[in-house]
Structure 1
Amino acid sequence: MSKVKKQSDKNAPKGQIRIIAGQFRGRKLPVLMADGLRPTTDRVKETVFNWLMPYIQDANCLDCFAGSGGLGFEAISRGASAVTLVELNKLAAQLLKDNKALLKADNIQVIQQNALDFLHNNQQSYSLVFIDPPFRKGLAQQAAQLLNEKGLTDDALIYVEMETDHNTQIMPSHWQLLKEKVAGQVVYRLYQNSAD
């Protein structure tokens, strides 16, 4: 395993994301630029939240591989009741906490932990879940299986983003595919839990 050069908070390279709509519309938030952290593009985010518009109000959301927090912050801005952001990278998780404070969003919880460990021990049920993991590690399928065991309301919506050249990861059989789109190297899908 190669050694990763440690960076201080001050020296960590940063980019930014923009909240597209809702309460925090137009706000720009700093994000960490690091390997494996890919903020969802505005174009994809706009499409996804158009899909979610009828369901976002008062949703209890989970962003499993939060990264920049772009999906979770957008969900809060558009009326979700609560968002849990799970992020393994320590600096990225700290920046999520800083951005939560910047927005004064008390209904956001940031957890610095491996998403699979979090899902394995999860005791809550979520009505909207974002699965947008680092690519080429098979994490979407692993997260989906854990989430399926516990963590979803009966009609929960699950957004899954993965690379187009590795999009054969299998989702639970009773997740109904509602929407699917491809943008460049990314395929993104919206499923609904229909376990009854």
Structure 2
Amino acid sequence: MTDTSPASNARNYPLLAVPHVQLHGPVDDAMYDSFKAQVAAAPTEGPLVVSITTLGGDPEMARAMGDHIRLLREYTDRETLFLGKVAVYSAGATFMSAFPADSRFLTRNSRLMIHERQMTSTIQLNGPLNALSYTLKAKLHEIEDSINIQEEGFRDLVRGTKVDIEELKAKAPSNWYIEAEEARDLGLILDII
């Protein structure tokens, strides 16, 4: 019997074998708590390896975890490595954007999914007519700020890659699914293991 599976690059990256921080499930408060506890318990020397498998969740929790990683790098000059396993969707891709493109990896047959932020909201107009415009303006400001935050994350995600920000913005509204091989070819990750 001949093994026809592609050769693995895992031996080229032995640090990725046992990540210090292993996250899975929805990106939410519980994941953030687990993330902080695992980072605190990780060795303080050498690269920090973080893995995640997620179908998405709260983008603000993803940004908070990403900020933690950024601050760790900036204050300690410690290398941080990202390993996406199976599914890195939505808020998972937001978290991935906190790592430099040349420090990102995916396991074989993994997929990324990038999309625009979502909002479900109902505006109830009730009160004096002169006050109603403030309610509408407040909601508009919320939307505009959310778009600015989304753009910041998109720029971080494509920095140092072959993907142009305009290409990402064109594909994001319809949920852009990217297989590991394509992610590597686009420079969104360094390699596949």
State the TM-score, normalized to the length of structure 1. 0.32
Greater share of residues in strand:
1
| Pair member with larger Rg | 2
Greater share of residues in helix:
2
